[in-house]
A and B are shown apart, each in its own frame.
Chain A
Amino acid sequence: AQSVTQLDSQVPVFEEAPVELRCNYSSSVSVYLFWYVQYPNQGLQLLLKYLSGSTLVKGINGFEAEFNKSQTSFHLRKPSVHISDTAEYFCAVISRRALTFGSGTRLQVQP
């Protein structure tokens, strides 16, 4: 069975600072990975996805993630965060057409 671990439950950061949200996965088969964002009291929005090809994936709102097969990681990064990036971020892996999610990382951007 596939699983996803998000190592940080909360990440506080100051506005305009860089941020990295960590995600590790376990899988014995081909891996397709996703990052979703959830703003307060809203549904989940797709940020980016890795299906194949380049290991550096660019998403919406200036986020990017790098697929690292040897380290089984798919960390999410942004070089300069804004207050509006305050949200919860979920890493997920797809298996048999269903998503397995990590427990989420709450990004708190402070002025």
Chain B
Amino acid sequence: DAGITQSPRHKVTETGTPVTLRCHQTENHRYMYWYRQDPGHGLRLIHYSYGVKDTDKGEVSDGYSVSRSKTEDFLLTLESATSSQTSVYFCAISVGTSGGQETQYFGPGTRLLVL
């Protein structure tokens, strides 16, 4: 257990509404990530953070924004939800030494349905 929680765990929303997903960690790790999981695609990186107020885009960042005002919390916002954003969203933290040899651990996921 890497001390990662995600909320909510399930959400149903309507097209055009804003949605915010929360990732919370208890161990003060610097790097945090948001991925989405879709059938046939594995997991794809949306955004990541390398410190408070420091974030960068991933492979599928369009339509998403993130914020990190505290080390322990990383928020993912869908500014105007669309049906293509129906997915399972996973938060992850990075643990280990520098130089690329980190290991990522994942939260339990949030299942989002956009109607």
Contact = CB atoms under 8 A, between A and B. Distances in A.
Given A43-B106, A49-B103, A97 B50 contact: yes
A103 B106 contact: no
B33 interface: yes
Nearest to B109: A43
Interface residues of A, number: 28
Contacts of B108: 42-43
A98 B103 contact: no
Interface string A43-76: 1111001011000000000000000000000000
Contact of A97 (B31, B35, B43): B31
A30 interface: yes
Interface string A85-100: 0000010101111111
A45 to B, nearest CB: 8
